């Protein structure tokens, strides 16, 4: 089983503990106690004895005397340490003596102002300056004797002294200088603990200022100059450490070579700097949050930008120190907090969009997956933010929100495209950019347009994606296109067009949207390739075929709602005819892919038309239908005639199954072409006039069917005549007086006999021709 790859933090902690324990194991516990521990503890006891001596002699001498003795003692101990250090056998005592001596000197400098009994310096600033001199002296001495331990000790002692004697920003200034000096010395001295000591010391000295800002009177009580000054100092220290201290990325290992593992010193420094980055970010955030919100947001944005830039400075690739990752994470997190703190909704929209695009671009350029992930997180936050506030978005912010979402969407597509260009497309990141970008663009369109315009805009987007997929050969774009087409198709059924008044001549919004849908699906079917393989569990060919069903469904639904019961029927009938015509194609690609679907839709639509004719037209209240005009009558009758066209079309079938289907289609359409005018007559006429109209209609189909030898025309005509006879017998004629009934029955009977004679004659002629 493959071992789980450790993340940067685990690596760091593991390396740090290995370095520490390794050092301990190497030296041995006994040697550590004997050589070092006894030495330092002993020297500490000597120093304490000196302090108690001073206290003992306090009553006998004046302040100057006391300080003089203390200083002399300190210098003497330091001198002794230097003297003994010249001899190899006594070199072990050098460091403890020098260190102890300097502690005494430090204490002397401290006592000169801060101890009542020995105060000879009244000014706090002078007192601080004396301490600085002592600190500088000790550090310089430690550097001269090249002692790593003493240097670290000197820095620590200096910070401790400044903490105890804190003078606000004056102390902070001194600590800043000290920290900067420490940063400069870390690498040359190869002393990683110096980084930890300086950073810890600096922030400990910073804490009183930070506490002052956070307290109730902090922000108002602290002068603005001091507020920004202290924040600037912290920023300077962090920036210098982040730039100077981390190890530079080494040479990349050659192919086949294992990468060089980091040294124990690097782990020390990485951990120190990472923790310092967290503390710095927390201090910055806490301090600016306590201040005015706008400044807080601006400050946080600056912090986020700075941390991200510092992380980016480490160079390309995701390898390298933990500090790089910590700064990247902190930069992104702080920027997100800053954006949330921005006052206006529009500013927040742009904040998320710009952060996502900048981080994404940086991540791509520097090959940093972490940057790209944070960029995606910003995109997600931007979309969530939009979802949260779209219901309460003021009108004046709408355009800004639309533009920012559009920008975010464009950035998503651009970054996905760039990733493909540099050969990094085959990761989940590209997919998220694509779909996040799509979501952003859809959100922008949805915000800008009301539903009717939005639906058409989604169709436009789908067409653009289809075209882009063809041009770039990008399968993901094609998948997005078919997904959009399906979603837009469903959406079309959920639009209430309101009063639906015409917008372009007689064209209403519903007609425009329906036409847009049909154009889109038609173009997609006719001109675009189907998606490859299977997408979301559906085969690519089925996705493409679904366009035919969406187009037919939307067109039929649109016609249903747009036109009254009278006009709906001929339009549906003609639609069925058009579908049948489309279904006669045989190409493997383009419209031919959905030929079987078109034919099936044609038959379904014929059934639906016939059913609607009875349900929606025949029984519909005449008072709601409105006046029958010449135009409507013409449309109705002409379309009925046209519906008989399949009877006369040339043969299309090539197999027995297709022949049977074609035969059935002829009968079905011929029947529909008869049913529609029959319904028209039944609706618009009354009583016996219906029978007369039907009779003429039936004859109008029967006779041409007989003379042309086409059974699909004959049979429906015959059926209608049969219905006429039944109606006449059992309904029309029952109310007549006897003489009229005799005449009517007689005339009807003669007509039927004549018809039968003609029928037999003409069908026999047909059989002779066939034989």
What does the block give as tokens for 80? 């002794």
Nearer to other proteins, 283 or 402 (CB): 402
CB 599 within 8 A of CB 583: yes
Q: Can residue 638 be called a binding residue for other proteins (CB under 8 A)?
A: no
Binding segment (CB under 8 A) for other proteins, from list 249-257, 467-475, 571-579, 729-737: 467-475
Question: At closest approach, how far in Å is the CB of 404 from other proteins?
Answer: 18
Nearer to other proteins, 460 or 635 (CB): 460
Q: Can residue 400 be called a binding residue for other proteins (CB under 8 A)?
A: no
CB 229 within 8 A of CB 188: no
Q: Number of C-alpha atoms within 13 angstroms, CB side, residue 217?
A: 2
Question: At closest approach, how far in Å is the CB of 566 from other proteins?
Answer: 11
Work out which of 372, 466, 485, 732 binds other proteins, going by CB under 8 A. Answer: 466
Work out which of 117, 294, 464, 760 binds other proteins, going by CB under 8 A. Answer: 464
Relative orientation angle of helices 369-389 and 345-365, to the nearest 10 degrees? 160
- What CA–CA distance (Å, rounded) separates 663 from 651? 10
Q: Can residue 358 be called a binding residue for other proteins (CB under 8 A)?
A: no
What does the block give as tokens for 65? 């005397």
Work out which of 523, 635, 715, 723 binds other proteins, going by CB under 8 A. Answer: 523
- What CA–CA distance (Å, rounded) separates 262 from 269? 11
Q: Can residue 495 be called a binding residue for other proteins (CB under 8 A)?
A: yes
Q: Can residue 630 be called a binding residue for other proteins (CB under 8 A)?
A: no
Work out which of 16, 207, 229, 449 binds other proteins, going by CB under 8 A. Answer: 449
Q: Can residue 737 be called a binding residue for other proteins (CB under 8 A)?
A: no
Residues 6+ apart with CB under 8 A from 210: 283, 286, 287
Q: Exposed/middle/buried for 67, CB within 10 Å: 0-12, 13-18, 19+?
A: buried
Q: Can residue 501 be called a binding residue for other proteins (CB under 8 A)?
A: yes
Question: At closest approach, how far in Å is the CB of 728 from other proteins?
Answer: 20
Q: Can residue 467 be called a binding residue for other proteins (CB under 8 A)?
A: yes
Work out which of 283, 524, 554, 690 binds other proteins, going by CB under 8 A. Answer: 524
Binding segment (CB under 8 A) for other proteins, from list 35-43, 112-120, 557-565, 713-721: 557-565
What does the block give as tokens for 287? 């301090």
Distance of CA 647 to the CA centre of its chain: 56
Nearer to other proteins, 357 or 547 (CB): 547
Question: At closest approach, how far in Å is the CB of 452 from other proteins?
Answer: 4
Handedness of CA 455, 459, 461, 462 (dihedral sign): positive
Question: At closest approach, how far in Å is the CB of 447 from other proteins?
Answer: 8
Binding segment (CB under 8 A) for other proteins, from list 157-165, 232-240, 520-528, 673-681: 520-528
DSSP notation for 387-426: HHHGGG--HHHHHHHHHHHHHHHHHHHHHHHHHHHTT--S
Question: At closest approach, how far in Å is the CB of 400 from other proteins?
Answer: 15
Work out which of 615, 660, 750, 754 binds other proteins, going by CB under 8 A. Answer: 615
CA distances from 141 to 180, 316, 328 (A): 18, 41, 39
The closest of 390, 369, 269 to 316, measured between CA atoms, is: 369
- What CA–CA distance (Å, rounded) separates 452 from 494? 10
Q: Can residue 450 be called a binding residue for other proteins (CB under 8 A)?
A: yes
The closest of 388, 434, 545, 430 to 482, measured between CA atoms, is: 545
Question: At closest approach, how far in Å is the CB of 415 from other proteins?
Answer: 23
DSSP notation for 521-586: HHHHHHHSPPPPSEETTEEHHHHHHHHHHHHHHHHHHHHHHHS-HHHHHHHHHHHHHHHHHHTT--
Nearer to other proteins, 621 or 650 (CB): 621
The site for other proteins (CB under 8 A) is made up of 446, 448-453, 456-457, 459-460, 463-464, 466-467, 470-471, 493-504, 508-509, 512-513, 515-516, 519-520, 523-524, 526-528, 557, 560-561, 615-616, 619-621, 623-624, 626-627, 629
């Amino acid at each position: 089983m493959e071992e789980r790859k450790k993340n940067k933090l685990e690596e760091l902690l593991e390396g740090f503990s290995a370095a520490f324990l390794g050092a301990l194991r190497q030296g041995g516990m006994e040697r550590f106690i004997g050589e070092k521990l006894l030495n330092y503890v002993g020297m500490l006891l000597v120093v304490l004895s000196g302090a108690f001596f001073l206290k003992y002699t306090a009553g006998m001498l004046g302040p100057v005397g006391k300080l003089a003795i203390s200083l002399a003692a300190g210098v003497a101990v330091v001198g002794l340490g230097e003297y003994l250090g010249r001899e190899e056998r006594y070199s072990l005592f050098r460091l403890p003596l020098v260190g102890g001596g300097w502690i005494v000197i430090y204490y002397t400098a401290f006592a000169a102002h801060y101890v009542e009994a020995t105060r000879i310096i009244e000014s706090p600033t002078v007192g601080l300056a004396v301490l600085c001199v002592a600190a500088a002296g000790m550090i310089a001495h430690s550097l001269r004797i090249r002692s790593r331990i003493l240097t670290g000790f000197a820095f620590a002692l200096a910070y401790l002294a400044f903490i105890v004697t804190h003078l606000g920003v004056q102390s902070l200034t001194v600590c800043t200088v000290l920290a900067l000096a420490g940063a400069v010395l870390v690498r040359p001295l190869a002393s990683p603990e110096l980084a930890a000591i300086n950073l810890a010391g600096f922030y400990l000295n910073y804490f009183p200022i930070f506490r002052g800002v956070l307290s109730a009177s902090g922000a108002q009580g602290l002068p603005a100059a001091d507020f920004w000054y202290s924040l600037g100092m912290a920023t300077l220290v962090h920036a210098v450490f982040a730039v100077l201290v981390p190890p530079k990325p080494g040479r990349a290992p050659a192919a086949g070579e294992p990468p060089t593992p980091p040294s124990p010193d690097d782990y020390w420094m990485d951990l120190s700097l990472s923790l310092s980055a967290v503390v710095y970010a927390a201090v910055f955030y806490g301090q600016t949050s306590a201040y005015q919100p706008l400044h807080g947001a601006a400050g946080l944005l600056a912090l986020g930008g700075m941390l991200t830039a510092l992380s980016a400075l480490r160079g390309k690739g995701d390898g390298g120190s933990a500090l790089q990752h910590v700064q990247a994470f902190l930069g992104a997190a702080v920027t997100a907090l800053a954006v949330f703190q921005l006052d206006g909704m529009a500013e927040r929209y742009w904040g998320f969009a710009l952060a996502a695009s900048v981080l994404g671009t940086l991540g791509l350029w520097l090959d940093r997956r972490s940057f790209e992930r944070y960029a995606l997180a910003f995109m997600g936050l931007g979309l969530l933010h939009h979802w949260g506030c779209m219901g309460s978005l003021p009108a004046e912010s709408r355009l800004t929100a639309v533009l920012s979402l559009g920008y975010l969407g464009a950035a998503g597509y651009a970054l996905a495209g760039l990733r493909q260009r540099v050969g990094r497309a085959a990761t989940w990141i590209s997919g998220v950019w694509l779909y996040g970008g799509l979501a952003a663009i859809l959100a922008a369109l949805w915000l800008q347009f009301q539903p009717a315009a939005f639906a058409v805009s989604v169709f436009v987007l789908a067409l653009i994606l289809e075209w882009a997929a063809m041009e770039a050969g990008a399968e993901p774009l094609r998948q997005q296109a078919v997904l959009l087409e399906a979603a837009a198709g469903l959406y079309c059924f959920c639009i209430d067009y309101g009063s639906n008044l015409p917008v372009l001549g007689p064209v209403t919004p519903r007609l425009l949207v329906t036409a847009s849908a049909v154009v889109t699906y038609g173009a997609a079917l006719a001109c675009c390739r189907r998606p490859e393989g299977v997408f979301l569990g559906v085969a690519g060919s089925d996705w493409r075929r679904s366009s035919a069903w969406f187009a037919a469904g939307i067109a039929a639904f649109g016609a249903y709602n747009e036109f009254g019961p009278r006009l709906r029927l001929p339009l549906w009938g003609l639609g069925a005819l058009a579908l049948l015509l489309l279904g006669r194609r045989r190409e493997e690609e383009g419209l031919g892919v959905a030929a079987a679907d078109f034919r099936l839709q044609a038959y379904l639509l014929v059934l639906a038309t016939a059913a609607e004719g009875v349900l929606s037209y025949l029984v519909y209240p005449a008072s709601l239908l409105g006046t029958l005009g010449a135009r409507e009558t013409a449309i109705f009758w002409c379309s009925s005639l046209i519906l008989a066209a399949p009877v006369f079309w040339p043969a299309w079938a090539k197999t027995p199954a297709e022949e049977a289907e074609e035969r059935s289609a002829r009968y079905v359409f011929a029947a529909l072409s008869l049913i529609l005018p029959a319904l028209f007559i039944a609706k618009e006429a009354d009583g016996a006039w219906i029978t007369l109209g039907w009779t003429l209609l039936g004859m109008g189909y029967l006779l041409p069917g007989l003379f042309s030898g086409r059974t699909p025309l004959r049979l429906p005509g015959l059926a209608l005549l049969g219905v006429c006879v039944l109606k006449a017998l059992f309904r029309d004629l029952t109310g007549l007086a006897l003489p009229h009934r005799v005449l009517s029955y007689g005339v009807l009977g003669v007509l039927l006999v004549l018809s039968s004679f003609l029928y037999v004659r003409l069908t026999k002629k047909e059989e002779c021709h066939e034989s």
